[in-house]
Amino acid sequence: MSENIGGYSASDFSESSGNAILKQLLEEDKTIKTRFAEADKSPNYDDFFELLEKSPTKYIPTARTNVQIKTLERDYINHNKREKTEYLYKYQCDTKVFNAVKRSISLDPTVLFLVDIKQRKVFWIYLSDEYVFDQNIGDNKTTTVYFSKGNLLSNIDSFDKTMKAISEEKRKES
């Protein structure tokens, strides 16, 4: 007989590894500061990161971006034969973060990160209003996200500049 007591699952460790890989990558140039939650029960987001500007004495936040972080634990190669064959990869994703963007729960931009902990690769997708509406999620609980090598996060300087431009555009819209 086993005692009914809480514990940690293997996915808890995968989540921690994914967050650590992403945090190390994003913070390496000191232009981004992360605030990621683990084993959280907050709805829709896994917290945020802030874009920073260096002053003589400190790094000052200039913009905030919501994040949803997913760990790629299984084969994520796109084996489709008929549709979406131009994408190398796919991932079945919960739709909560998409609905949060659709409802404008936050006016800050939102990024979906997909972390391959075995190969230490991070892919990212900006969840713009257009992207979310194109997913046609309706009442679905999950949606398939397609992505390719172009979504690989490999140049933090380029990512930082892209996120600054997106944040500036979002400010103009609100």
Task: Give residue-wise pLDDT tens across range 99-122.
Answer: 999 999 999 999 999 999 999 999
Q: For the whole prediction, is pTM greater than 0.95?
A: no
Residue 1 lies in a domain: no
Residue 122 lies in a domain: yes
3-state secondary structure of 5: coil
Structural domain of residue 19, as residue ranges?
A: 10-173
Strand partners, 39: none
Residue 76 lies in a domain: yes
Q: Confidence class of residue 44 from pLDDT cuts 50, 70 and 90?
A: confident
Mean pLDDT over each residue of the chain, to the nearest integer: 93
**CA distance linking residue 172 with residue 174, whole number of Å:** 6
**CA distance linking residue 57 with residue 55, whole number of Å:** 5
Residues constituting the chain: 174
Strands (E) in the chain, as ranges, are 32-36, 47-54, 59-71, 89-94, 110-116, 121-126, 142-147
Residue 156 lies in a domain: yes
Domain count for the chain: 1
Residue 60 scores a pLDDT above 60: yes
Residue 3 lies in a domain: no
For residues 75-90, average pLDDT? 94
Residue 87 lies in a domain: yes
Residue closest to 114 by CA, chosen among 66, 151, 165: 151
